[in-house]
Amino acid sequence: MGKESLRCERIDLKKFCKDKNFGVCAIKIYLSTKSACTYRAPSGNFDLFITKLDTILRKLYTVTTEYIICGDRSIDNLVDSDGKSQLEARLKNYNLTSAVNFPTHTQKNSATVIDNIFIDIIKMGNYSICPIINGLSDHDVQSITLHSFNLRPPTKKCMLLGR
């Protein structure tokens, strides 16, 4: 399918944005897939970021829609931390798992995974991901290709607890 035939629409989430704390944009791609890009400034309020992300996921979530969340959350996925644990636990409520396992942000003496893509690997398990080093930024681009995914609804109903 070429990009000319890809149908999508913008999902208006600007009311959730808060300068220097939480940025988000999203589109619905007419394959039952929704994609959102998030940003959290390193100095931003982490609790506000997690709360707004969860609010948006609850608003958009349906069992039959696949989600792709990408962006810079300023949480290093290579280092165990409270922030990483909280983010992973929250996304796990929606069956979303980190797909990036290579450095995405490099500086003179460090490499981190602060940019990430989260997908439902059960539904989208056949994928490949690679970095694209563009030389324009200290952040590299992540490119994900979904080779196939399961569009059938699950046979069991799930109930999310703790909401």
pLDDT tens per residue, range 57-71: 998 888 777 888 888
Dihedral angle over CA of 25, 26, 27, 32, nearest 10: 170
Residue 105, CA atoms < 13 Å, CB-side half-sphere: 13
What is the arithmetic mean of pLDDT over 76-82? Answer: 89
User: What confidence score (pLDDT) does residue 9 get?
Assistant: 87
The CA-atom distances, in angstroms, between 12 and each of 17, 60, 116 are: 11, 11, 22
All structural domains of the chain, each given as residue ranges with its CATH number in brackets, are 7-148 (3.60.10.10)
Token code pair at residue 154: 């699950």
Say whether 82 sits in a helix, a strand or coil: helix
Instruction: Kindly give the pairing relationship between strand 8-11 and strand 23-29.
Output: antiparallel
The residue whose two tokens read 């589109």 is 27
Task: Say how far apart CA 77 and CA 140 lie, in whole Å.
Answer: 15
Task: Say how far apart CA 34 and CA 66 lie, in whole Å.
Answer: 6
User: What confidence score (pLDDT) does residue 156 get?
Assistant: 43
Task: Say how far apart CA 113 and CA 78 lie, in whole Å.
Answer: 6
Which is more confident, 74 or 139? 74
